[in-house]
Amino acid sequence: MKFIPCVLASLLIGCSAASEDIEPAGNGFILQNVNVVDVANRSILSSKTIRVENGKITSITDVDVSDRLADLPVIEGKGGYVTPGLIDMHVHMYERAAYVMTLSHGVTHVRIMNGVPKQLEWRDKVNAGEMIGSSSTVSSPIISGYKGAYLHHGVETAEEAREAVRQYHGEGYDLIKLYGNLSEEALKGAVAEGKRLDMPMAKHGPHASGEMPVGELKGLQSFEHAEDIYQGPLNYKFEPDRLPGIIAELKATEVPLTPTLNIFYQLTKLSEEKEAFLEQTPKHYTSYIIALEAKKNQVDRWLTASDRMVAHNKKTLAFLQLITKQAHEGGIPLLVGSDSGVLLSPHGLATHTEMRLMKEAGLDSYEVLAAATINSAKALGMENQIGQVVAGYNADFIYTASNPADDLSVLVEPAAVAKAGHWYTREKLDQLRVDAIKNRSFWEEVGVLFGAM
């Protein structure tokens, strides 16, 4: 992202941002005659009535409610299906509109994996009901071995790493993101300080540094990118016979894996179909400056890729899906994370591409749904709040006319989404998305990115 500081430095920040704040509204209703997708038990709970009060599911019963006697608005479910809201565990979002886009596609919670200060404010506004969108867990800026790199906090020594962890813990970030190029000394220092502070940590790349055993990373929130198993322990070699040993070591850490297949799929399609694929990518899903940076520093290289590179990318993507399948079969919990916001990968839609790729890798529909709900909620330490349609949980769920266990694609444009007890119809979600794009503020984005420098 070297291009971004150059753009920001040339701009005069002087305009105020358009507001998409909302006033807290009623967040209760009764949804009757629906089938609940019970991901944990791989089953469908038929003909249920869900009562929602103050943003929480208060009961799930077999009893329909008369409109005349109801004390809350009654929504007739017409035999549709209710699925837990999806959780995308790896996104890059630097504008308000992105929170609406993800929500409009049934993604009710996201984990932002390169934090900036403004995201903490937006996180709190969504939680307070003052802003419409997906709720979020926000990582620190990336702690890496790159000194002076934009959106990175470069460290070399153990003490520098400890101080960085202390800083972001104190500033209110939800977790620490550790990059793959940290020295062994710095990685050990960061991990030790995170554990001391009880601060969750996620690591770019499912491997340690130097001579440090991967077992010393036990207790992290997640490992990111199946690609880094190919690039790291396998040293860019297609050696499937080595995977069982690598996977056994990773399983022993009890750390989940976020494969992020979507982003390699994105670059593979860009290299193969070039401008034709670019034309199919929804341009309005990416903010102004991020789109400009991606085009200059990420996209152009794939538009000129040779046939040989295309063949290599396709072979690599298939290998990453094999890694994902074997990790799952080896007992490593998988998480859905799309890496949306990178390579023009569209927020919300990319989550569903990731789920499709995981299913193509060999997981069944319930296993994919678990990766997008229960597994992710557990990794976040929110397993008693989100990830299931259960009494006492947040009223974050998706309503569809047909069963997503039969066809996951029905979740892409759901008939309705409930978020914190607010019921958004398809029409309302579409309008919110249109309005968010229309009210997108170039100057707010400049301020957000400038504030991270």
Question: CA-CA distance, 153 to 80, in Å (whole number)?
Answer: 47
Q: What is the 3-state secondary structure (H, E, C) of the chain?
A: CCHHHHHHHCCCCCCCCCCCECCCCCCCEEEEEEEEEECCCCEEEEEEEEEEECCEEEEEECCCCCCCCCCCCEEEEEEEEEEECEEEEEECCCCCHHHHHHHHCCEEEEEECCCCHHHHHHHHHHHCCCECCCEEEEECCEEECCCCCCCEEECCCHHHHHHHHHHHHHHCCCEEEECCCCCHHHHHHHHHHHHHHCCCEEEECCCCCCCCCHHHHCCCCEEECCHHHHHCCCCCCCCHHHHHHHHHHHHHHCCCEECCHHHHHHHHHHHHHCHHHHHHCCHHHCCHHHHHHHHHHHHHHHHCCCHHHHHHHHHHHHHHHHHHHHHHHCCCCECCCCCECCCCCCCCHHHHHHHHHHHHHCCCHHHHHHHHCHHHHHHCCCCCCCCCCCCCCECCEEEECCCCCCCHHHHCCCCEEEECCEEEEHHHHHHHHHHHHHCCCHHHHHHHHHCCC
Of 222, 170, 166, nearest to 189 by C-alpha is 166
Of 307, 417, 426, 348, nearest to 99 by C-alpha is 348
Of 316, 346, 139, nearest to 225 by C-alpha is 316
Q: Kindly list the distances between the CA atom of residue 24 and the CA atoms of 27, 126, 127, 396, 430, in Å, as whole numbers in the listed order.
A: 9, 10, 11, 16, 20
Q: Give the pLDDT confidence score for residue 442 in this predicted structure.
A: 84
Q: Give the pLDDT confidence score for residue 27 in this predicted structure.
A: 85
Q: Give the pLDDT confidence score for residue 12 in this predicted structure.
A: 37
Of 179, 185, 149, 155, nearest to 167 by C-alpha is 155
- Chain-centroid distance of CA 357 in Å reads 15
- Could you tell me which residues are beta bridge partners of residue 204? 224
Q: Give the pLDDT confidence score for residue 143 in this predicted structure.
A: 98
Q: Give the pLDDT confidence score for residue 15 in this predicted structure.
A: 37
- Does the pTM surpass 0.75? The reply is yes
What does the pLDDT profile of the chain (453 residues) look like in tens digits? Answer: 544 554 444 443 333 333 344 433 468 999 999 999 999 999 999 999 999 999 999 999 998 776 555 789 999 999 999 999 999 999 999 999 999 999 999 999 999 999 999 999 999 999 999 999 999 999 999 999 999 888 899 999 999 999 999 999 999 999 999 999 999 999 999 999 999 999 999 999 999 999 999 999 999 999 999 999 999 999 999 999 999 999 999 999 999 999 999 999 999 999 999 999 989 988 889 887 777 877 777 788 899 999 999 999 999 999 999 999 999 999 999 999 999 998 889 999 999 999 999 999 999 999 999 999 999 999 999 999 999 999 999 999 999 999 999 999 999 999 999 999 999 999 999 999 999 999 998 888 888 888 777
